[in-house]
Structure 1
């Protein structure tokens, strides 16, 4: 089944409109999960349900199962109730933070610096990651529902690797934040990181793995990709940009405290889901597939992302391997 689309005059991207078939599947999921109230009703917008359907190739049964598990997780974990004071100690070094700029496709940007890890608590690290995810989603502009991760490997060594944290991170992101990741750029990853990444691959679903790109500061193709993605006057110098301001924990804390107020306002509304960025709908042009015979545990591939030309840089040759097609909507999963 195809998706109707129309051209956006403002940015040249295609805005995807819900087809009758897609809306019917969304309605079916809504019927099967049953009536929701409070925060669950706000969470379960059509946009949200469509992300779960896309994450499971429009298989209603699998999408319902996945969504129900997330609703249970959110009820118990209460990610929308995490506040700055709960995780401020984890944020002190700037190991993860939301930038004050977006990319040229309107996606919020999270910077990650694993060498600045300051905690041995898996629980604390995951709680801070969840806080950052919720904050990035809160700050998505209209008609964009995905984000970009920029991962800076400067100063990284083997002591910063944790299989336990990596496994838990992959689980939380893939199961409870599907279709949220547009692109993850691993910038200047050292050679010894490759075997670890190979080992991690089985933890990642195919479409998640395909969104991870390697970039290098001495590679011209990487520079071209970064220029296509970002305004260099805003991009940090660590990623080849012109901004050398650096991370300031005090200024960042003030931003997050203000965002906590917006978070409270959003999740205390118990009526129909408000029209805010994190509930915006941006369907991709993947054909609908029921695929009812596929197992629930299978790795699910997706059609190529349609937001931009990207490629994975081979760590051995430091050369760009073009993946071909443009992506209009990249996903967390």
Structure 2
């Protein structure tokens, strides 16, 4: 399996020329990289105007590997070929490296690039990508892969430190500014011969007096004093400072997983892609396994689109019954800055709410709570100046009894847990369960199998008044905001609940109709497409120059999307004889409109070339009206 790495954009707040001077100090040896023993120049090229400088080096590495493995491999050192292409005119440096040793067994490729920041010409951007493919290595393939990845990630962390080390060294030498490259100027002498005079481009020593006065070399040559611009993200890429500020400290491999999954979403989901925090949650939920994270993320994105969850806070108003009797609400934040949600489950009439509203209305309300939680996390990230991606939930179980174990109520709870676990992973930072009664173990036995292992580790359960002692509530919540019903002094504006009046109960038929209405308020429909059983949709053209649009997600497998046009309307499909015997046909809910007797080119024509849609893709396009066909 090929291991890949993609770095975020690392920004140096120094000009490109100064970064290049610092970079060159790494050769021929670099004491900051112990494994880098030395390097020899193999080839070198300089253009006449000195704008282009290409140098190829053979680098000698002392890899930190077990002595036995080195003995079996028969080598003490590993050699790499590195080619640096510097273009002073464009202010770019492209670095390509590959392994020379064991190249028939192991293939390592690395590409790095230094460029000028698109929003600030006095800053420099750095990007890095690499791939590792171990074909065979004396039966030690797994060991070699681990060693290679460990060494590589270790060097990645040192990369920026090394540049900054040599920048400081240049500063100590009095070099803080290097002029940009300028093209040489031709002159004619008295004898009619031309010669080239090259402008000086040597490092500039800044006088100490200028430094003391707070002037930089550029200010010494110009009167313009531009303001310091905000750091941008080049070409909508993630930079390392942004990741640390808004997403937290990630390892190089975790950063790579985030960037690669984000790039895949940008390529396949042409419409709106989720926020970086959202992508990161799904990666964490699957231990940064990209394939597994991508699968559950795509399923969740399709679910969100189908049920328009992105708009739930703006378009859906909870029924008054929920506002009066649902005993939960947001209450300040915990000591880590996480939003705090308080739920007095023991005071909630779950049976009454289910009988009055139905399972789907409760689910939708819980979804709105989760969406509000995501918003509050973003706000707290800005307020506290550090990444906050989850919230804390405080559940008070005083009053919990056998009434809460009513089977339809437990069924609704399990359904809610299932949906939340699938679509809001890693949003629960901590769950504090207080005043757990004797009946709690019964409820826990019912619901715990549906809760993810990582989520269960975040549960803290206190019986009786144990939450008031050491290791209790005060360890996680400031004394000033402990709710009054838990002995604190802070008023908690959470409904006290009580029994839902039976006059608000609804019949099973009414609840079923309401449930259908809640989850069919969408323009999207689902269809299963099988080989030989395409799903076809007929759209009638009623006006000239009509335009149609289509928007669909491919949840599983690959499909082919076709558009056909016919001057005569297809006949409604005949009822499948299998259906009369209550046997489900392979096509499920598919509809096939094009008559088998029709011939392409005579009875109908193809509007556009077939579009192959891969698993996980989101497709949104517009064209003229036609018959749309989905097929495998």
TM-score, structure 2 length as denominator?
Answer: 0.35
Deviation at 1:18, TM superposition (A): 3.5
Closer, same or farther: CA 202–242 of 1 in aligned 2, 3 Å:
same
Q: What secondary structure is seen at the aligned counterpart in 2 of 1:154? A: coil
Any conservation in 2 of the 1:232–1:240 contact (CA below 8 Å)? no
Name the residue aligned to 2:281.
51
Decide which structure has the larger Cα Rg and report it.
Answer: 2
Query: Does 2:422 align with 1:175?
Result: yes
Name the residue aligned to 1:20.
252
Name the residue aligned to 1:247.
494
Closer, same or farther: CA 203–245 of 1 in aligned 2, 3 Å:
closer
Tell me which moved more, 87-96 or 200-209. 87-96
Q: What secondary structure is seen at the aligned counterpart in 2 of 1:110? A: strand
Name the residue aligned to 2:261.
29
- Equivalent positions of 1:184-199 (< 5 A) are 184-199=431-446
Query: Does 2:305 align with 1:92?
Result: no
Q: What secondary structure is seen at the aligned counterpart in 2 of 1:207? A: helix
Deviation at 1:246, TM superposition (A): 4.5
Residue deviations 1:82-126 (CA, integer Å, cap 9, x gap): 247621422222422111x10110000111122323511111111
Query: Quick one: which of 301, 307, 310 aligns to 1:80?
Result: 310
- Equivalent positions of 1:263-302 (< 5 A) are none
Deviation at 1:170, TM superposition (A): 1.6
Query: Quick one: which of 387, 402, 422 aligns to 1:158?
Result: 402
Higher RCO by CA contacts (8 Å cutoff, separation 6 or greater): 1
Name the residue aligned to 1:326.
none
Name the residue aligned to 1:129.
366
Closer, same or farther: CA 83–18 of 1 in aligned 2, 3 Å:
closer
Distance 1:145 1:239 in 2: 27
Distance 1:180 1:198 in 2: 23
Q: What secondary structure is seen at the aligned counterpart in 2 of 1:185? A: strand
Unaligned runs of 5+ in 2: 1-149, 158-246, 382-386, 497-632
Distance 1:21 1:58 in 2: 9
Any conservation in 2 of the 1:152–1:238 contact (CA below 8 Å)? no
Deviation at 1:53, TM superposition (A): 1.0
Query: Quick one: which of 340, 353, 373 aligns to 1:119?
Result: 353
Name the residue aligned to 2:475.
228
Any conservation in 1 of the 2:437–2:464 contact (CA below 8 Å)? no
Deviation at 1:245, TM superposition (A): 5.2
Residue deviations 1:115-167 (CA, integer Å, cap 9, x gap): 32351111111111111111122112111011011111122222223221222
Distance 1:130 1:27 in 2: 28
Name the residue aligned to 1:145.
389
TM-score, structure 1 length as denominator?
Answer: 0.64
Query: Quick one: which of 332, 335, 341 aligns to 1:104?
Result: 335
Equivalent residue pairs, number: 235
Q: What secondary structure is seen at the aligned counterpart in 1 of 2:337? A: coil
Any conservation in 2 of the 1:236–1:246 contact (CA below 8 Å)? no
Closer, same or farther: CA 224–169 of 1 in aligned 2, 3 Å:
same
Any conservation in 2 of the 1:151–1:184 contact (CA below 8 Å)? yes
Closer, same or farther: CA 19–210 of 1 in aligned 2, 3 Å:
closer
Q: Which has the higher strand share?
A: 2
Any conservation in 2 of the 1:110–1:147 contact (CA below 8 Å)? yes
